[in-house]
Structure 1
């Protein structure tokens, strides 16, 4: 009976990869809950204060200019619809000329999606679905190929530095060192550190350019670099949107190149960090398995002691 039950029912113990997946799901959910709690405590009071101030300004404006409050809100609603088509209170650069459209498709295929520009026509929205499907897939392939070459280049650089450092250690033991060098490989921590420095250098250099060209503070520019390079793309800060930027071709080209370089480097960094996270998950699983085995041994020992005490009685 027990044998038949074991054959008919699959094992309830998941594999290591499945357990790692479940553990990652739980940790991501907890991480998101913690982030939601922190951001809510930081941003919610400011949101409520801004909402109250906005309502007060609307009522004061309607009262001072003898306007209906509902008519004023209706006008603002129409403006929100027009903003999707590129209408701004301050004159900006054209959104749908060839350079503006090229900037838009760049944010689509890179999955940044700032949201400042979006198709307003039905045909444009339909075309975006098919265009984005192929474009995003091709860009992800490009990022993966870029990652392979970056990892190879960084590994060769680390290996060269390792060989050079071993060469300065003296002639003694050189044969054994050479044998070990044939098997030596750079660790994921070394690769991650180099990629982190590269991303930091690109972000700091790009922030200097954006701060000068966009009029942002340096911290706002660094914030924009992270949001853009990580393809989060909130849209609260967007580069190359001012009217005078239409004539600065050098800045537009530099912006595209920095976006491409920043996204590629950050994508590579995210991948190496994910490897470290997976190693941490495996370590957590091993720790949990060890704790579970200890509990089983203790339970078994306690059961033996209980039976021995019962016999003595």
Structure 2
């Protein structure tokens, strides 16, 4: 038998971009024409359903099981994740536990000093007042000052923003339904809304990813015309990094500057909020539009939610494309190793 032909470097390298286009425009895995990398045809819903059924049949008869991650690999990844969590827990404990202990000692001393200076107030009355204050804060009402009483977590713009945090699974946790009816509706709303939002996010990510890859291809073509001595891989990596940086400026830097001036946050706090939001961590210690002392415009919170929507879709598309490229590179490496053997 004749030895297998070694793949040409130019063809293999260009397959990185083609694979990204195929993964974005062809999510169901059907075969596309190889000579049209940027204009892949789209199938109807019935055709995609048939592709899904065929894929399921392939898994059932064992022909597609080679692509499933092995249990040893799953176990290794699980161990890595657990170790990562342990390291993270130890670091957070070292950074945050001393501050927590300091706050506990401070509040205990302040309560004792208040009772000493106000002998007419009993410890039980003070505890009741503190409990009522905590309940008020949990309900979205700040007991500090008087102007904040005009602030509402449940006006239309705030309720719209809260609904968006539910279906996007960010869930800041700074506010929550306090009535039984609100909690029941929240459950039903999340069950229906989360898949709907995921479908919308996938669609926007599909379009953004297609635009992203086409832009990379254009930049790659320009570089190849002017700098033919530069390898295609370097051009691809450089153009991709440039577009990722441009996206970070649009979805991270600019919003952080806006939040810094609108909310009165520091630069670190603004960047912290942006990253925690776009990664859907949603801790809730910093929330745009959550300061009860600031009078926000009615369109501010809806605008923040639309930024979240497009930002999530953009970074999902970027991460998906990077993952596709890594898989192509992995296959290329395996092919070269097998060829040398």
- TM-score above 0.5, yes or no: yes
The answer to whether the 8 A contact 1:84-1:117 is kept is yes
* Aligned equivalent of 1:75, options 113, 129, 137: 129
Q: Distance in 2 between matches of 1:241 and 1:150?
A: 30
Matched, 1:23 2:72: no
Q: Distance in 2 between matches of 1:102 and 1:64?
A: 45
CA displacement at 1:79 relative to structure 2? 2.3
* Structure 2: tracts of 5 or more residues without a match: 1-66, 335-341
Q: Distance in 2 between matches of 1:192 and 1:131?
A: 39
Residues 43-69 of structure 1, C-alpha deviation per residue, up to 9 Å, x if partnerless?
111111111111111111122112222
**RMSD value over aligned CA atoms?**
3.4
Q: Distance in 2 between matches of 1:192 and 1:32?
A: 29
CA displacement at 1:244 relative to structure 2? 6.9
Larger of the two Rg values belongs to structure: 1
Residues 148-196 of structure 1, C-alpha deviation per residue, up to 9 Å, x if partnerless?
22222221111111122222357xx9xxxxxx99xx9x97896577335
Matching residue of 1:145: 203
Q: Distance in 1 between matches of 2:184 and 2:291?
A: 28
CA displacement at 1:276 relative to structure 2? 7.7
What TM-score, normalized to structure 2? 0.66
* Structure 1: tracts of 5 or more residues without a match: 1-13, 174-179, 287-313
Matching residue of 1:164: 222
Q: Distance in 2 between matches of 1:242 and 1:15?
A: 48
CA displacement at 1:72 relative to structure 2? 1.5
The answer to whether the 8 A contact 2:166-2:190 is kept is yes
The answer to whether the 8 A contact 1:199-1:262 is kept is no
Q: Distance in 1 between matches of 2:307 and 2:160?
A: 15
What TM-score, normalized to structure 1? 0.72
CA displacement at 1:207 relative to structure 2? 1.2
Q: Distance in 1 between matches of 2:307 and 2:189?
A: 23
Q: Distance in 2 between matches of 1:76 and 1:99?
A: 30
Matching residue of 1:119: 177
Matching residue of 1:231: 280
Give the number of equivalent residue pairs.
Answer: 261
The answer to whether the 8 A contact 2:220-2:236 is kept is no
CA displacement at 1:71 relative to structure 2? 2.9
* Aligned equivalent of 1:106, options 164, 170, 182: 164
- Where relative contact order (Cα < 8 A, 6+ residues apart) is larger, the structure is 2
Matched, 1:240 2:293: no
Q: 1:276 to 1:37 in 2, by over 3 A?
A: farther
Matched, 1:43 2:101: no
User: Which secondary structure does the structure 1 equivalent of 2:143 belong to?
Assistant: coil
